[in-house]
Amino acid sequence: MLNTPQFSPELEAFRLTVRQFIHENLPDDIRQMVACERMDLPREAQVRWHRILHSQGGWCCPSWPEHYGGPGWSDEQQYIFEQELSLNDAPRLMIYGVGMLGPTLFKYGTEEQKQRVLPDILEGKIFWCQGFSEPDSGSDLASLQCRMTEDGDEYVINGSKIWTSDAHLADWIFGLFRSGGGERKQQGISFLMIDLSSPGVTIRPLKIFEDTHEVNQVFFDQVRVPKENVVGVPGQGWEIGKYLLSLERFGTAEVSRTKASMKRLTQLAFAPAAGGMRLIDNVDFAERYCRIERSLHALEMTERRLLLGDQRAESVDTGASLLKIRGTEIQSDVFRLTAEASAHFAAVDIARDYTELQADNPYQVGDATRNYFNYRKTPIYSGSNEIQRNIIAKAELGLS
């Protein structure tokens, strides 16, 4: 692995503190699930880890300022913290509440909303999910049609949201809903928070071809939502949604997650083999391996340059799109190669009980083939890579 430049001594000391905390406090069963590349952690495991981080002075919400109960970290500290979580097989943060809704409320929420919603996110009491896509509105998000109609002090919601990750685990959903019309389809959209236990909400599980249940379709049939659950003003939803998506700067490329995956692949590649011919001694395999390693290094340095910047101002407004495209492309390459590294074993469909994984099988990185199939989602989700290219073309290059 190519080394990356160190941060200042203070920040590197901070890194060690974080690392030590994870080593001492991350429960083994959770670490094992993450080390198997599993994204669909049970709610109980996510919440347990969230509360452990919470007890450490708000580490569960690394981007939150101190007066909302976060640690009040600098960009560099947040970056290093997320790196260490990834490299040490700790779960991803509870992104919807912690990374998205919380910071959105800092900016657009009323005082009442902040006091009502934020403490429950911080303490891991309420589990959030996000409702953007609809059956007929995928990449063309602004065409969304799930309606909210005014009725006294409430809105009445009718329609459905789809590809809703973790809706089956969640208590509440936030998302964009059609509240009116306008010349442009981006007008007449509102940002709303909805209690999933409300009458009229139905959640239908959707199984992805890899065989897990991560996403759902959420149906709304005459669901009544109090007006105080609108964030911002009605019609401001598109602006708020764009802001919310721009918040996820440090996560989209998953560079450090992919580095952790590469460490696992490295173990396979250099493992002693019968006949003395290790995987890495195969020139074609070695070349694919090395290419990924170089690409990942270039991406990591780009991430640091674009996100943390340096004193010569960088001017890539669409850095997050670039990082998402390349990050997910490289991630896919790693998972394909890891699966292929296992030869015949890659054909075996292992029962998805990670607690029973055998550590003595050198080819077993979770079920590498399942992971490969599962991670085909990443170039598609949160704005497909084609949409990301449209964004760069328009916003960065001025092509239209």
Cα separation, 383 vs 325, whole angstroms: 10
Looking up tokens 């084609």, which residue turns up? Answer: 386
Contacts of residue 369, defined as CB under 8 A and 6 or more positions apart, other chains included, come to: 339, 342, 346, 347, 348, 349
Nearest CB to other proteins, comparing residues 125 and 294: 294
Nearest CB to other proteins, comparing residues 298 and 343: 298
Q: Are 123 and 54 in contact (CB under 8 A)?
A: yes
Nearest CB to other proteins, comparing residues 130 and 321: 321
* Helices 28-35/43-54 angle, 10° precision: 120
Buried residues in 60-76 as b, exposed as e (16+ CB within 10 A):
bbbbbeeebbbbebeeb
Nearest to 17 by CA among 73, 69, 101, 63: 73
Residues in touch with other proteins (CB under 8 A): 2-3, 5, 8, 266-267, 270, 280-281, 283, 286-287, 289-290, 293-295, 297-299, 301-302, 305-306, 310-312, 316, 322, 325-326, 386, 389-390, 392-393, 396-400
Smallest distance from other proteins to CB 79, Å = 13
**What radius of gyration do the chain's Cα atoms show?**
22
Inter-CA distances, 28 with 24, 99, 276, 355, Å: 10, 25, 34, 10
Nearest CB to other proteins, comparing residues 292 and 350: 292
Smallest distance from other proteins to CB 242, Å = 20
φ/ψ of 161, rounded to 5, equals: -115, 150
CA 88 to chain centre: 17
Smallest distance from other proteins to CB 301, Å = 4
Nearest CB to other proteins, comparing residues 316 and 346: 316
Smallest distance from other proteins to CB 99, Å = 24
Smallest distance from other proteins to CB 5, Å = 6
Smallest distance from other proteins to CB 253, Å = 12
Smallest distance from other proteins to CB 179, Å = 31
Provide the 3-class DSSP secondary structure of residue 267: helix
Contacts of residue 394, defined as CB under 8 A and 6 or more positions apart, other chains included, come to: 400
Smallest distance from other proteins to CB 133, Å = 21
Cα separation, 64 vs 73, whole angstroms: 8
Nearest CB to other proteins, comparing residues 65 and 309: 309
Nearest CB to other proteins, comparing residues 206 and 393: 393
Nearest CB to other proteins, comparing residues 257 and 264: 264
Write the DSSP assignment of 92-158 as a string of letters: PP-HIIIIIIHHHHHHH--HHHHHHHHHHHHTT-S-EEEE--BTTBSS-GGG---EEEEETTEEEEE
Cα separation, 313 vs 383, whole angstroms: 27
Smallest distance from other proteins to CB 288, Å = 10
